[in-house]
Amino acid sequence: MDKLQLMKEKIELLNKAGKAYYQENREIMSNFEYDKLYDELEQLEKETGTVLSNSPTIHVGYELLSNLPKERHDKPMLSLDKTKEVSALKEWLGQNEGVLSWKLDGLTIVLTYENGKLSKAVTRGNGETGEVITNNAKVFVNVPVVIPHKKTLILRGEAVISYSDFEKINSEIPDADAKYKNPRNLCSGSVRQLNNKITAERNVRFYAFSLVRADGEEFSNSRINQLEWLKSQGFGTVEYKRVNGENIEETVRWFAENVTENGLPSDGLVLTYDNIAYGESLGATAKFPRDSIAFKWRDEIKETKLIEIEWSASRTGLINPIAVFEPVELEGTTVSRASVHNLSIMESLDLGIGDTITVYKANMIIPQISDNITRSGNIRIPDSCPVCGGEARIKNENDIKTLYCMNDDCLAKQIKSFTHFVGRDAINIEGLSEATLEKLIAKGMIKELADIFHVEKFKDEIVEMEGFGEKSFNNLAASVQKARKTTAARLLYSLGIPNVGLSNAKLISRKFGNNWSKIQNAAFEDLIEIGGIGDVMANAYVKFFSDEKRKVIVEDLLREVELEEAEENNEPQVFENINFVITGSVEQFKNRDELKEEIEKRGGKVTGSVTSKTNFLINNDNLSSSSKNKKAKELGIKIITENQFVEWLNNGIEPE
């Protein structure tokens, strides 16, 4: 194949990968593979003296696709030239002093302040035009909305999500089509939300890395002075160190040793001249500024042997291939597994059992396969789901092949019901997060709710799971044993019957004297006699317990739990058929839960929102502008104080 044709093929692949990564928050190849292709393309361009118009080596970014408003940057935001050689960094720096900092892997943002207030935030976008995300930036965890400096200030920085928040958030996002592959993708999706409430829930942080303009300020021609000044204004800045020709190698080593402790996604380092005027005098190429250079980690690559491909089903039905290989030491830790992400990547690597593969840690953190030396391609793609045994079908979307379970009743898709079951107000098993449950289900350790009480059988496997160890497992086992003793109301609530919240579960249990047989076999006519339970809820309840599969699930659970005798309740049922909502702080009770308990003991019901069915709103601040107060006044619902309620309690008054 001639070199020009080879260039065209590499350009097509790189542009497709870039579009997927920057626009669609998904990956079709690893960073390692992308960098390798990019370097090969650059070499071909040098050899041929030809650069094609659509080459990523001259394009700064990609077309933006979203409903966010667009805005052109005053100055183009160029990419950085890069090297993997410390010697090249040293040569580039020469006799100058520099600033060496993390190259954070998130989304670059430009912030503008006027009169001391955040007035605008724009993403890097394609380098020339970005998306306006001002409202979203205002809910970043650490962005100052008001600063002491009252003149125009423009700065650049990186919005990132830490690895720990990524793991936590990724396991809790209910509406994601599939788990995010890395913190960068999650951050990009979070920053560019149309609803900034979602952004606020994602723990996005901003770290300044350069100052563009600060009217009225003098920095003695030093970038370090600029960064120190930004700190004084309340900004978090990237961690940086002053370097020169003598200490740069030692400083690069320090950063390399502290990658894992850093906790933030980083794909290398950035070296910038401290002397601002000197850096600016060098100008820029069509793509790169000459005052800065990026250093990419020279990945530690090890050979190993592929033992198996483990197929892991997720809540979305997606079945991901996981490569399991002979353990190797990488960047100071032992690794034996790596996600392959999808069938397209697996096939491009021609993976086969017994193959000799090379592995590395992307950003020195996440294990990845870099290459397959023997390429036997002998892996059979399963035609059934590893969790439920149902049909597994290959889908091809945007030239990416993925494997999906087609069974709607697959346990992996029912993860929410398991999460609800172990929740605090339900069976209450600490240490069983949604992410952990998903892993246990994917590995076949849990096939129904009752199996949760037998996780001790899989101690050896669980102890070896990421994020677990002997201590974590022992805590989990103790929590499981403790959860065996529960109440009828908790068990009923834990089953996730439509519309049967904790309050309704307590009312139903009380109605039937906490007798489980009566609770499970309750008739429609008996249920609608209970205040707050209407036809729809009663029908759903009866239908739930009439289902044969669910009957088996409940029977298996009853063999695992011991229902404690509920305390005898002799309180007069003065609040029967009365619905309360509580808002604001309480003064005479320890907390709202204690107040709620007093209401329920007397036959009342407490709900979370004000509706036409609400009888009383308890709020010590009648003039509050809260949404619940406003709603109650709109609907003509009586607002009472805690003192009034306590008076009813003390005197046994039945409210009118």
CA distance 213 to 194: 28
Tokens at 118, concatenated = 């955040």
The question of whether 638 is a catalytic residue gets the answer no
CA distance 140 to 145: 10
Q: Which of 8, 75, 82, 103 is catalytic?
A: 103
405 CB-side CA count, 13 A: 26
24, burial (CB in 10 Å: exposed 0-12, middle 13-18, buried 19+): middle
Helix (H, G, I), strand (E, B) or coil at 212: strand
| Radius of gyration of the chain measured on its C-alpha atoms | 30
103, burial (CB in 10 Å: exposed 0-12, middle 13-18, buried 19+): buried
Exposure pattern of 569-608 as b/e (b: 16+ CB <10 Å)?
Answer: eeeeebbeebbbbbbbebeebeeeeebbebbbbbbbbbbe
- Euclidean distance between the first and the last CA atom of the chain, given in angstroms as a whole number: 89
Closest CA to 349 of 319, 308, 377: 377
H or E element, residue 3: helix 3-23
Helix spans in 487-574 (H) = 488-494, 502-511, 516-520, 524-527, 535-546, 548-558
Could you tell me which residues come within 8 angstroms of residue 422 by beta carbon, excluding any fewer than 6 positions away? 428, 429, 432, 437, 452, 483
Phi and psi, residue 549, nearest 5°: -65, -40
Active site residues: 103
